[in-house]
Structure 1
Amino acid sequence: MQPPSRRTVLSLGLLTTLTACTSGSDEHHTTAEPPRDPDTPARLRAVAATDRLLGAYDELLAAPGARTALLQPLREDTAQHRAALVQGLLTASASGSDTPAPTATPAGPAATLATLADLAALAALERRSADSHLHDLEEVGPDLARLLAAIAASEALHAAALGDQTPVAAPEGRTATNPAATAAAVPAIQTALGAEHAAVYGYGVVGAHLPDDRQRADARGTHAAHQARRDAWQRLLVTAAASPAPAAGGYQLPFPVASPADATRLALHLETRLTTVYADLVATLPAPYRPRAATALCETALCARQWGAPATAFPGVPG
């Protein structure tokens, strides 16, 4: 191990208008139309998806014997998703877009709601909603991409809470194998690689302090997942003719780890910090690479939940 002065802190938090013109003669003056926010169509689609979910939750919550303790917190998350998306529409409208924000009363299509007779159907609807957000990642601006990825991760958590453990994966970017596009992404990919190097080291510590039981098996599986993700980022860098940054000789832990409880807390810390890293990378990476970061965000949010992370409507987005 390298001396302390060269250790890398294992906090992962240290990683760090269109102008319209008028033309015409003195007799004819053309009034320029206000610019339309290019993110508006994607925002409207996302709002419609949350409306369908809200309608589904309302239907199930109104049913006799509704599992209110399970469903109500998930509905509240979804209402927060909608509010954040509508706020973006209101901001765009204030800056000149002529697209009205959706009405505040959500209502899903009756044909869709009629199929939501059980929790499994609701979980499937959550997954479809998450998939729809992830499909828009390459077409929107960085801020909306980050928000959509966080909402998709939250919906993946909802699906898991409702019993659907199927992984959520964003579609691969259309130009993600283009070496020139990859070259522009090198700094952000190096950040992702550094985060995974730290996580791989951290899970070595986690596994060493857990008893030989289900938790250790889970830690081994997650350790392997981080190794695979690390290797994937390394391959991308090689594609761009860049040298992948090597792992540090040692990493300073955020707190001493001497017991199974400490190990569990470290695993939670690692995954929680990685959600922030990947949410930020969705906004930082060039559009073709956002799907990779968004998939990693969904995976780390699910792992954080497994280690006891508190519920949040926007995984990886503080506040």
Structure 2
Amino acid sequence: MQPPSRRTLLSLGLFTLTACTVAACTTDRTGPAPGATGPRPDPDAPVRLRAVTATDALLTGYDTLPAPPGVDGAGLRAETARHRAALAEGLPATAVPSPPVTTGPTTGAPPTTATTGPATAAAPTPATDGLAALELRTAESHLADLDAAGPSLARLLASLAAAHTLHAAALGAPAPPLAAPPTASASANPAATPGEAPGVGAAAVTALQNALGAEHAAVYGYGVVGARLPDDPARTDARTAYAAHQARRDTWQRLITSLGAAPAPAAAGYQLPFPVASAADATRLAAHLETRLTGVYADLVAAVPAPHRLTAALALRDCALRARRWGAPDQPFPGVPDPAATPAATTG
């Protein structure tokens, strides 16, 4: 077998973005203003504080509402506390309220993780409904602040919105409907002339091309997945996912065209990350594709201007939910490295 091309590997998500792209996506907006004697206030501070406040309300919910049987409430609360720490990073200690202390019930045993097929959500209970609603409310608050945040914080907010939606699913809430990709007229700036894209730079177009390439690969991959699954509900799920990725692919093609660039074509074939010879292999491939796409879309949130961030964030969320359905373990920070495992950047 011939070694895959670099673009093919990038599309499959086996390559990380180049250092210059990541730096462009995650550039912090802090730093000394011209002529100033010290660092200027962080413009993201109000957004961070709102996100911390919303997270504190969720933590209080875990301290007052018991988790249902079979759900690791303590684990979900611990992840939420990690989210709070990431959101508060860089804020002055005097500006951040003290976090809630665990005082109430977070009972429940850890749930069993599916490994051979799509997961089945437990039926919601009254207690589950309360915690799940709080999780979804927190996710919505993060999405509402995407456009007000700097690129790096927007990326984190999109990841945490997906994480809280995963928490709600673990608590038994039905998954939200998949986000409908916008039409070309909704995505493009009607005031732009051909070849011009006000507010959209080269880094954003590159990130859009990366997302398009990843969707090309996902469409190819789901063709392999569907061919290895029996004619049962799992194959139906694969067909649904295949159609969703086709729609996303078409969305990015239209948007890139509207920005005056030529959409990258699909490759004739793609190198799979491992042999797919059985239904179990097909399920694992589907989970792999969706998990890798969460990273692509997290980077896209950071790279594109505000009007397109929500589209990318909802794509991240949808991929995280599909990965869970295929049996992938939930990630505390879908699509981004765990901030606790990443060395903090120093400022001069």
TM-score in terms of structure 1 length: 0.82
Larger mean CA deviation between 134-143 and 12-21 belongs to 12-21
Alpha-carbon offset, residue 254 of structure 1? 0.8
Q: Could you tell me which runs of 5 or more consecutive residues in structure 1 were left unpaired when the two chains were aligned.
A: 23-31, 94-98, 108-115
Query: Which of residues 136, 140, 151 in structure 1 aligns to 2:145?
Result: 136
Is 1:257 aligned to residue 271 of structure 2?
no
Instruction: Tell me which residue corresponds to 1:29.
Output: none
Equivalent residues of 1:202, 1:266 under 8 A apart: yes
Instruction: Tell me which residue corresponds to 1:149.
Output: 158
SS at match of 1:181: coil
Instruction: Tell me which residue corresponds to 2:82.
Output: 80
Matches within 5 A, 1:160-175: 160-162=169-171, 163-167=173-177
Alpha-carbon offset, residue 176 of structure 1? 4.9
CA separation in 1, counterparts of 2:85 and 2:222?
Answer: 37
Is 1:289 aligned to residue 305 of structure 2?
no
Distance change >3 Å, CA 170–CA 198, structure 1 → 2: closer
SS at match of 1:203: helix
Instruction: Tell me which residue corresponds to 2:188.
Output: 177
Alpha-carbon offset, residue 57 of structure 1? 0.9
Distance change >3 Å, CA 226–CA 171, structure 1 → 2: closer
TM-score in terms of structure 2 length: 0.75
CA separation in 2, counterparts of 1:101 and 1:203?
Answer: 45
Report the AA paired with residue 14 of structure 1.
Answer: F
Instruction: Tell me which residue corresponds to 1:306.
Output: 325
Matches within 5 A, 1:273-284: 273-284=292-303
Q: Which has the larger radius of gyration?
A: 1
SS at match of 2:260: coil
CA separation in 1, counterparts of 2:126 and 2:64?
Answer: 9
Report the AA paired with residue 46 of structure 1.
Answer: A
Moved runs in structure 1, 4+ residues, more than 3 A?
2-7, 65-70, 167-172
Equivalent residues of 2:188, 2:259 under 8 A apart: no
CA separation in 2, counterparts of 1:89 and 1:171?
Answer: 35
SS at match of 1:8: helix
Q: Could you tell me which runs of 5 or more consecutive residues in structure 2 were left unpaired when the two chains were aligned.
A: 18-30, 103-124, 339-348
Instruction: Tell me which residue corresponds to 1:158.
Output: 167
Matches within 5 A, 1:1-319: 8-9=8-9, 11-14=12-15, 16=17, 17-19=31-33, 21=35, 35-61=40-66, 67=69, 69-90=71-92, 100-105=95-100, 118-162=127-171, 163-167=173-177, 176-178=187-189, 179=192, 180-181=197-198, 183-184=200-201, 185-319=204-338
Alpha-carbon offset, residue 155 of structure 1? 0.7
CA separation in 2, counterparts of 1:246 and 1:302?
Answer: 27
Distance change >3 Å, CA 225–CA 171, structure 1 → 2: closer
CA separation in 1, counterparts of 2:156 and 2:178?
Answer: 16
Alpha-carbon offset, residue 309 of structure 1? 1.1
Task: Write out per-residue CA displacement over residues 49-74 of structure 1, whole angstroms, 9 at most, x where no aligned residue.
Answer: 1111111111113xxx8537332222
Instruction: Tell me which residue corresponds to 1:112.
Output: none
SS at match of 2:97: coil
CA separation in 1, counterparts of 2:180 and 2:101?
Answer: 26
Report the AA paired with residue 123 of structure 1.
Answer: A
Report the AA paired with residue 250 of structure 1.
Answer: G
Distance change >3 Å, CA 170–CA 119, structure 1 → 2: farther
Task: Write out per-residue CA displacement over residues 199-237 of structure 1, whole angstroms, 9 at most, x where no aligned residue.
Answer: 000000000000111111101100100000001111101
Distance change >3 Å, CA 34–CA 234, structure 1 → 2: closer
Distance change >3 Å, CA 240–CA 34, structure 1 → 2: closer
Alpha-carbon offset, residue 137 of structure 1? 1.0
Normalized per residue, the structure richer in helix is 1
Paired residues in the alignment total 289
Distance change >3 Å, CA 195–CA 87, structure 1 → 2: same
